[in-house]
Structure 1
Amino acid sequence: MRIFYWAGFAAFLLDQISKYIVIHLMDLSRIRAIDVMPPILNFRYGENRGINFGILSDAPDASRWVLIGLALVICFGVYFWMRRAKVGVLAQISAGLLVGGALANVADRVIYGYVLDFLNMSCCGINNPFVFNVADIFIFAGAIGLVFFVDDPKKAGKATAKKHK
């Protein structure tokens, strides 16, 4: 479980540090746009009050607390799953990234009332209007990692049974 904790802590910290540097120190909240490596990587200031792609962004402020509660329930669920399951290092890292990223976005919702986003990527003549943050990357990578790195106990049991026959 130590790996799970460290991965989660690293994801949380990297997200919060990146937001502090880009939004506050580089003053993106005032400037609103910084072209880093156009069009591939740009910083665009965003306040996400909803979920992915701005869904539910017009919902009342109470929805913020519903989203915080939902994120915490998912984090506790993943935490207890990791404590009970016998999973490998990569699955623990994946779970830690997911939980750390989710908690970083929860911290934003508690502190600011919305999730701070600043990353924008476009390519090949396609102008992507959406912004995201480092925590979103960790959440996505962690979820994908759990899909690939958690063994299905039913399959493992069948494979073991076949080997012993």
Structure 2
Amino acid sequence: MSFKDLKANGLWFIALGVLVVILDQASKLWILANVPLYYDINILPIFDITYVRNYGAAFSFLSNQDGWQRWFFTAIAFGISALLIYWMAKTPWREQRQLWSYGLILGGAIGNVTDRLAYGYVVDFLHFYYENWHFPAFNVADMAISCGAALLILDAILEAKNEKLSKGIN
């Protein structure tokens, strides 16, 4: 496969996924080396660095199970990653929003699955709150997945709008 072949499709966006994994894992290694479990480092009146372990999925879904969820979420992450790489290969270079979203989601999935395989849990540490309200702690991989999903939704909305405009429908 030549450079021109790579440029013809979205496989170059695997590099975005790799960048997300590097940023995610570097931040988590810093947390593991410097922040005790459940310790709060206040950054802003609404934001702390708080190291917590997530044995489940988003918002600690299934975290109270016997451990089977580790392998279940690992399998899902590998399946989604394979699917994203396939879609990247099939998506033309001009479909930038889709490719950015695939790269972000891919990097986030691999970042979190790396934790599951290495530790048996995902390292979360970004904690936003206001008075008694607390958003569940998350990490760089989670941000990448969320941003990638938002880009996919935006892309779908804009594509639908463009399709309507091209057909002359208001």
Band of TM-score, shorter chain: 0.7 to 0.9
Paired letter, 1:128: H
Moved more, 76-85 or 113-122: 76-85
Q: Does residue 28 of the first structure (1) align with residue 3 of the second (2)? A: no
Aligned pair partner of 2:44 in 15, 18, 37: 37
- Aligned AA for 1:23? L
Q: Which residue of 1 aligns with 2:13?
A: 4
CA deviations on 1:99-125 (whole Å, 9 max, x unpaired) are 1011000000000000000110113x3
Question: Structure 2, unaligned stretches of length 5 or more?
Answer: 1-9
Structure 1, unaligned runs of 5 or more: none
Determine the structure 1 residue equivalent to 2:106.
99
One-letter code aligned to 2:100: I
Answer with 46-55 or 2-11: which moved more: 2-11
Match for 1:81 among 76, 87, 90? 87
Q: Is the 8 A contact 1:42 1:121 kept in 2?
A: yes
TM-score where L is the length of structure 1? 0.83
**Could you state the TM-score of these two structures normalised by the residue count of structure 2?**
0.81
Q: Structure with the greater relative contact order (CA < 8 A, sep ≥ 6): 1 or 2?
A: 1
Q: Does 1:132 align with 2:132?
A: no
Number of matched pairs: 158
Structure 2 counterpart of 1:120: 127
Q: Given the alignment of the two structures, is residue 13 of structure 1 paired with residue 19 of structure 2, yes or no?
A: no
Once the two structures are TM-superposed, the CA of residue 128 in structure 1 deviates from its matched residue by 0.3
